[in-house]
Amino acid sequence: MKKAEEWQWSSVWRREEGTVEQKKLLSAWPTTMPSNYLKILNQPLTTAEEEALERSEEKSVPYGTDTWVHKIVKKYKIEQVLKGVGRPRNGG
């Protein structure tokens, strides 16, 4: 398998090839779905993108450009994800 949509246990396969019943299992996209999302999905990530995605996952912060992240954080009222955990540092 070379493409994400070829793996039949993935949500993208269900979205593209699944039955009506299988498609009902999927949630609606929280944002507008890009018209070229399959092309985007199948592009390899750079090392920097992989690292940023891992940080995003670890901290439960939306992944994307700073502008997009701030827009989504505001839209869904999840500003706390951008703040550090714990008490602020003393004197800094």
Instruction: Give the separation between CA 18 and CA 34, rounded to whole angstroms.
Output: 20
In three-state secondary structure terms, 74 is helix
| DSSP for 4-73, written as a single string | GGG-TTSHHHHHHH--HHHHHTSPPPSSPPPTTHHHHHTSPPPHHHHHHHHHHHHHT---S-HHHHHHHH
10-54 pLDDT, tens per residue? Answer: 999 999 999 999 999 999 988 899 999 999 999 999 999 999 999
Q: Is 84 a residue whose pLDDT tops 90?
A: no
Question: What confidence tier does 92 reach under pLDDT thresholds 50, 70, 90?
Answer: low
46-68 pLDDT, tens per residue? Answer: 999 999 999 899 988 899 999 99
